[in-house]
Chain A
Amino acid sequence: MKVILVDDEKKFINMLAKRLALRGIQADAVFSGEDAIKKVSNKAYDVAVLDIKMPGISGIQLKKKLSILDPGLKYIFVTGHGTVSKSDEDLIQKDFYLSKPLDIEILIKRMNEIGKLGL
């Protein structure tokens, strides 16, 4: 499974990428929506894990842009807030979202579920 992780919290996303690598999941970490667009333009991924709140392009805006580049890409949203706002919830209702701090086993379970369901 090829995963792209997008979050402006560089240390958080680097640590997560290392932990996923130890579990055999190849994950590229990028720190902005702009960098994610460049990556997805050049490489195929199965799952994108996106922080909802980022400077510049938000996670939800980023999904719209990435979906044009790769219609088959699946999404998991991550939020630092306890809950997502109603408007965000409407936009990501077909996707999974997880709150920080993440439970890596749940994250991997969700990644596998997305693969099987072909959402």
Chain B
Amino acid sequence: MNDTINFINIEGLKFFGKVNASISHELKNILAIISETSGLLNDLTDLAKQGKDLKLSMFENCSASIAEDIQRGFTTIKQMNRFAHSVDIPIKEINLFETLELTINLSGFLSFASKVQINNSDQETKSILTCPFLLQNLIYQILIFTYESVGPDGDIHIRIDSKNNDGAHLIFSSPAQLTLKGFPTQKIQKTVDVLGVELNINESPHELDIWIPYVSNKIIVLAKELQNDSYTGNDKQD
């Protein structure tokens, strides 16, 4: 196994673990809310049995709240499932907007996540041939860096600019200027190198710009390496 594949595997496993831990935390919070709400519903039912005159709306509010949180749970599980399947095919064509949206949602489960807005983006960009799981990992790492930069009350703005015929720009900015001290970390730089994307810090306006070619030479080489690697052959999907 060469260094690049080793890097993808080790960092990928760490990323997978981190995302799963945050999803399990989210699901536990959802279940805790449902548990408290059904507990309140039981408390109210007991009081009603004892003859206490209670407004019907109190019961209705509880059941509406439970339904809402079950929906939140379903949405979380749907994202978990999409994320789990992102490792099925190591190199494939993806829609950048969908990948960005999923990664933002996954990072939103982190307790220190800031508010993220996708602005003026081209949702139907040309497909990008990439390693989807590694690209998610890169976007996730950059989101964490920007969250730590602006804090939980800060705002992160992201836009996709796909006017260029050769690729798309993924641009991160914040109304409260991003502090990029120590950026990029060694891990982010290595991920950038493996993916064959480019990282630029624009000074005016202060933005972080990832240039993602629709097809990079590094991805073509990586695809061949992965094909030759006995441990990373494509599995059939369930």
**In the bound complex, CA of A55 to CA of B33 (Å):** 18
Establish whether residues B111 and A55, one from each chain, have CB atoms under 8 Å apart when the complex forms. Answer: yes
**In the bound complex, CA of A19 to CA of B38 (Å):** 11
Chain B residues closer than 8 Å to A8, beta-carbon distance: 111
Chain B residues closer than 8 Å to A22, beta-carbon distance: 40, 43, 47
Residue A72 is within 8 A (CB to CB) of chain B in the complex: no
Chain B residues closer than 8 Å to A53, beta-carbon distance: 25, 111
Chain A residues closer than 8 Å to B28, beta-carbon distance: 80-81, 100-101
Establish whether residues B35 and A102, one from each chain, have CB atoms under 8 Å apart when the complex forms. Answer: yes
Establish whether residues B36 and A80, one from each chain, have CB atoms under 8 Å apart when the complex forms. Answer: no
Residue-by-residue, is A97-112 near B (CB-CB < 8 Å gives 1, otherwise 0)?
A: 0001110100000000
User: Which residue among A11, A19, A102 has the maximum number of chain B CB atoms within 10 Å of its CB?
Assistant: A11
Residue B185 is within 8 A (CB to CB) of chain A in the complex: no
Tell me the minimal C-beta distance from B115 to chain A in angstroms.
Answer: 11
- Other-chain residue from B32, B111, B113 in contact with A101 (beta carbon distance below 8 A): B32
Chain B residues closer than 8 Å to A102, beta-carbon distance: 32, 35-36
Residue B155 is within 8 A (CB to CB) of chain A in the complex: no
Residue B209 is within 8 A (CB to CB) of chain A in the complex: no
Residue B142 is within 8 A (CB to CB) of chain A in the complex: no
Chain A residues closer than 8 Å to B153, beta-carbon distance: 56
Establish whether residues A19 and B36, one from each chain, have CB atoms under 8 Å apart when the complex forms. Answer: yes
A14 nearest in chain B by CB position: B36
Residue A54 is within 8 A (CB to CB) of chain B in the complex: yes
Establish whether residues A55 and B112, one from each chain, have CB atoms under 8 Å apart when the complex forms. Answer: yes
Residue B31 is within 8 A (CB to CB) of chain A in the complex: yes
Residue A39 is within 8 A (CB to CB) of chain B in the complex: no
Residue B152 is within 8 A (CB to CB) of chain A in the complex: yes
Establish whether residues B40 and A15, one from each chain, have CB atoms under 8 Å apart when the complex forms. Answer: yes
- Measuring CB to CB, which residues of chain B are less than 8 angstroms from any residue of chain A? 25, 28-29, 31-37, 39-40, 43, 47, 65, 69, 111-113, 151-153
Q: Which 7 A-B pairs have the closest CB atoms?
A: A55-B152, A101-B35, A100-B32, A15-B36, A101-B32, A53-B111, A80-B28
